[in-house]
Amino acid sequence: MVTDAREFRPLSILTTGKRSAMTENIAYIGLGSNLDSPAGSPNATLSAAISRLRVLGEVKAQSSIYVTEPVGYTQQPKFCNAAVALQTSLGPLELLRQLLVVEHEFGRDRGATRPKGPRTLDLDLLMFGDEVVNLPELTVPHPALAERRFVLKPLAEIAPNTIHPTLNKTIDALLQSLPDEDENRVSAVNIS
């Protein structure tokens, strides 16, 4: 059974960027889908993707699945979104690369899709313990995390008291500070 990650703290945070095989952190991953995949409907895709993530570590918590309106490019179907807390021994860049492999397994071709457009599966590395990563291929925490209700709502369900490492606010506080307007209106994010 999946447990609540609110009280979970990383076992070790190394500022050197080097980690031993025994170092484990909690990675928060956002999931989204609005097209059928080999696993089925978007809802079924998220459930199957969460099961697949168990190969990369232990799923410590998972949110409900939310139905959300598209942001940016709005001429597309609604999304199913969720979040998981994954305890993993992988480093952030290794984990990102594995998430891209999982996306591909579910039929996503990032090179052939429009940015913010329809997709079979989107896996975003939202946070990785309290680490801050700025690399050409990876920025953690996710740069748009604090601006998106469709990300914050499921994340707040599983980790409301987790502190954003650069904004120094809890996930719940970030969610509460969003304006109730446009794509961030409360009515745009509903439990499936």
Tell me the catalytic residues. 108, 119, 122, 124
Residue 36's Cβ-count burial label (10 Å; 0-12, 13-18, 19+) is middle
Dist. CA 149–CA 30, nearest whole Å: 12
Q: Which helix (H) or strand (E) holds 51?
A: helix 42-53
What is the b/e burial string over 96-115, where b = at least 16 CB atoms within 10 angstroms of the residue's CB? bebbeebbebbbbeeeeeee
- CA dihedral sign of residues 144, 108, 46, 117: positive
